[in-house]
Amino acid sequence: MVNAKDMRQDPGRTSARLADGREIIYFDEEAGRVPPPDRRDLPPAEPECETRLDPLTGDPVAITAHRNTRTMLPPARECPLCPSTDDRLTEIPAAGYDVVAFENRFPSFDARTPPVEPYVDGIELFERRRGAGRCEVVCFTSDHDTAFSRLPPRRVRTVIEAWADRTEALSARPDVEQVFVFENRGVEIGVTLHHPHGQIYGYPYVTPRTTRVVASAERHRAATGRELFADVLAAEQKAGTRVIRQGEHWTLFVPAAARWPVEAHLMPHRHVPDFAALTTDERDELADVYADLLRRCDALYDAPLPYVAAWHQAPVRSGRDLVRLHLQLFSIKRAADKIKYLAGSESGMDAWINDVPPERVAQRLRDAKA
């Protein structure tokens, strides 16, 4: 167990601009950084993002043609997330860094996108909106060949500080309704860059999943007078069959209705809407428990597990007393040599079928040698 006191820190935060005007923020474990200039000759960023509403479901769909040209699995020597050198300039102008966040060069949402006509083809049934908001990349380390699960405790803690900082900053923007922190890991998942990194989306709308969760939480409160997340956590703790680890501030468990063959949820013991609301002690324990989960996942098949680590946070302006910050980590691997593909039922009807009992996955994760 890591001594939480030894992990507390106040990383140096330094903001600068890239050659095309995008913001970059360094989170250093020691203060004193002087950001070097970006020496690349880049044209000004001109994103074209829009959202169209599906008239059948009401769900927004982002349309971003410029993302189809984004960098795809370059060799390590051409990685755009590694530090810059004299003969190769990257997205990070510095010769080294601890944790860094910057505006995505190929965003799904961007406030600089130009206005759009309110309807597709002029037909009112097909609503259309400018894709405002903001998308950021978060690099966890300058080491291209490591993984989040192998980061030292202090670095994990610095990443959490960066997540909290960016959540607070993006939540203050008038064009952002929800902030989503996530990491995609593994080519099976669809990553386009191998360098250890995640992303943060500042959506201009409340996402469909969160809208459904808010509705469920509202029904539960109306029927019982209690908080849905608190009752789910208490029920999982009482049952114990799916709990992987329980600490002072967090509980790690496989949900009773897990959709994915490997899925784990990590939930704080008190209601907090987002990363920015976590106390120092909660952030300290989170750094330990989360890294432990990732190591257990990699031990399942004695190989790096492809996964999505999705940090669900409350909307910025609604439902903040209903939605609790929590992690949903999931993987498409249902066996060492088998992948769960989203077939007709899942993709066509959003009706999930899981071949692996959640209780079995929980036991395997408890037994995994982290």
13 closest CA partner among 39, 36, 32: 32
Secondary element (H or E) of residue 298:
helix 280-299
31 closest CA partner among 16, 7, 11, 6: 11
In 10 A of CB 105, how many CB atoms?
Answer: 19
Q: Annotated active-site positions, please?
A: 197
- Token pair of 37, please? 């200039």
Spatial distance between the Cα atoms of 288 and 305, rounded to a whole number of angstroms: 19
- Token pair of 143, please? 């080491």
Helix count and strand count (H, E) for the chain? 7, 16
Q: Where are the alpha helices (DSSP H) in 10-130?
A: none
- Token pair of 153, please? 């405790």
Amino acid (one-letter) located at 140: F
Q: What is the dihedral of CA 244, 246, 249, 255, to 10 degrees?
A: 40
- Token pair of 24, please? 């970059």
Spatial distance between the Cα atoms of 47 and 223, rounded to a whole number of angstroms: 45
* Residue 349, helix vs strand vs coil: helix
Q: Are 231 and 220 in contact (CB under 8 A)?
A: yes
Q: Name residue, tokens 């803690």.
A: 157
Pairing of strands 243-246, 250-253: antiparallel
- Token pair of 266, please? 């990590």
Residues 6+ apart with CB under 8 A from 330: 258, 259, 260, 262, 263, 264, 307, 308, 310
